[in-house]
Amino acid sequence: MDSVNVISTEQTYVKRFRVYGKKTIFRFNPVPEEVSELDWIKAGLSHLVDQVKADCSDTDHLGFTLTSLNLKTKEPGYVAFRPAEQVDGDILWGIFGGIIQSNAESVKSADTFRVECTRVNLPVGSGKVRPGFYNNFDEECKARRGIVAIKNSDNLCLARALVVGKAKVKKDPEYQAIRQDRCRRQTVKATKLIAKARVEIPHEGAGIPELSKFQDHLNKYNIVVYNYNSKGRDVYFDGKNERALYKINLLYHEGHYNLITSVTAAFACAFFCEGCHVPYDHKGEHRCSDICPACQTVSPPCKEEHGGITCLECNMHFKNRICFAAHKGDHCKSVKKCADCNRLVFLRKRKTKHVCGE
């Protein structure tokens, strides 16, 4: 019998790195009679480390938390994030073992312990798109109108993407010149941004630490980095800056950052919920608190003004003029409210005429 087993696995947001990671919770199984509890726990820590590292990549980092309701202090023990290759059972035992032994009187059984392991992937941008190496990524970025491919021969692709993004969202009249790096405008602005943000770009390129520093400096912006080939569902980094006036979306793939100017064009979808990071093609397919439930378009949700407006074509009520205008077209033609039974009728999915009470 294994000394530990997995209770649950879920996605979690790691505030320290501003990225989403994977959290796995392990529980210790009851100790066999012929084995000491300390040996059982020590073996369990080594086993769970081996189990987690089996799925790790070279850029994964691991962090651990030990909890038990029977600990005297009630405070969990922590093993700080470090590269997965530097983690082994002895590292965990060196920290958790002392906590467990100091609580020997209050802890009656090993199966009261829980170990949470959080795994995050910290991307590193080398900044340079080498001919042929990123052929598919490069071709797709050039083909999609919602993506600006950053061309460079240095390791500054992240800073370059950010300054082009700033020019785009602020509608800078020199946007095209900055995007195309005419007269080295992009290069100069990227270098200045690095200096002002006090960021040192490693030789291998910018990663999560540099993204975090840029986010702290660009306090009027929220930086979100999407992983390529996930249609926007996989987020590498989210600054979660609630005070942001502007948003800069980036696309990351194997060491290179490009700018996203349109998430729907970049991810080949009709609509994209930036709150949930979900692409969809028809209004009504995705519902969440970030999108207006009436027009299914505006985010944040529309606020009712002057009693709202009822559409004479679909018989649905909308909160204001913007909300009403947003529903016109596809939404108005695909969803109607029955005037007799008040039931919503989704016309696109129906093959027969609506009958009240069906």
Tokens linked to 19: 């990225």
Residues 191 and 169 in one domain: yes
**Whether residue 215 sits in one domain with residue 342:** no
pTM: 0.56
Residue 357 domain-assigned? no
Is the same domain home to 131 and 78? no
Residue 356 lies in a domain: no
Q: Which residue has the higher pLDDT, 167 or 326?
A: 167
Quote the CA–CA distance of 4 and 115 in Å, as a whole number.
Answer: 9
Helix (H, G, I), strand (E, B) or coil at 272: strand
Residues 86 and 152 in one domain: no
Element (H, E) at 149: none
The sign of the dihedral angle between the CA atoms of 75, 76, 79, 80 is: negative
Q: Is residue 307 helix, strand or coil?
A: coil
Together in a domain, 154 and 256: yes
3-state helix, strand, coil in the chain (%, to 5): 30, 25, 45
Higher pLDDT, 142 or 325: 325
Q: Do residues 279 and 271 touch, judged by C-beta distance below 8 A?
A: yes
Whether residue 106 sits in one domain with residue 130: no
CATH number of the domain encompassing residue 34: 3.30.1490
Residue 255 lies in a domain: yes
The CATH number for 140's domain is 3.90.70
In a domain, 358, yes or no: no
Residue 251 corresponds to which tokens in the numbers above? 């696309």
Same structural domain for residues 136 and 28?
A: no
pLDDT, tens digit, 9 for 90 and up, residues 191-202: 999 999 999 999
DSSP string across 44-105: HHHHHHHHHHTT--TTEEEEEEEE-TT-SS-PPEEEEEEEGGG--HHHHHHHHHHHHHHTTT
pLDDT, position 218: 97
If asked whether residues 29 and 107 sit together in one domain, one would say yes
Residues of the chain above pLDDT 90, percent: 37
Residue 181 CA to its chain's centroid (Å): 30
Which of 79, 102, 122 represents a domain boundary (last residue)? 122
**pLDDT greater than 80 at residue 123:** no
- Report pLDDT for 297: 72
Dump pLDDT digits (tens) for 235-275. 999 999 989 999 999 999 888 999 999 998 888 888 888 88
Task: Say which residue, 84 or 296, is predicted with more confidence.
Answer: 84
Is the pLDDT assigned to residue 135 strictly greater than 50? no
Is residue 153 packed enough to be buried (19+ CB in 10 Å), middle (13-18) or exposed (0-12)? Answer: exposed
Number of domains in the chain: 3
Residue 252 is predicted with a pLDDT of 93
Q: Of 122, 149, 176, which closes a domain?
A: 122
Boundary residue ending a domain (122, 142, 169) = 122
Domain that holds residue 292: 283-349
pLDDT in the model for residue 285:
67
Are residues 259 and 201 located together in one domain of the fold?
A: yes
pLDDT, the chain, mean = 85
Q: Which of 119-133, 135-149, 162-176, 289-303 has the highest average model confidence (pLDDT)? A: 162-176
Q: Are residues 145 and 47 in the same domain?
A: no
Cβ atoms of 263 and 273 within 8 Å: the answer is: no
Tell me the pLDDT band of 70, cut-offs 50, 70 and 90.
low
Mean pLDDT to the nearest integer, 78-94:
89
Q: What is the pLDDT of residue 133?
A: 35
DSSP structure class, residue 150:
P
Q: Is the dihedral of CA 243, 124, 11, 4 positive or negative?
A: negative
Q: Check residue 129 and give its pLDDT.
A: 46
Rounded-to-integer distance, Cα 85 and Cα 58, Å? 8
Q: What is the mean pLDDT of residues 88-110?
A: 73
CA-CA-CA-CA torsion sign (17, 19, 22, 24)? positive
pLDDT in tens, 283-337: 666 777 777 888 877 667 888 888 889 999 899 899 998 888 888 877 788 888 8
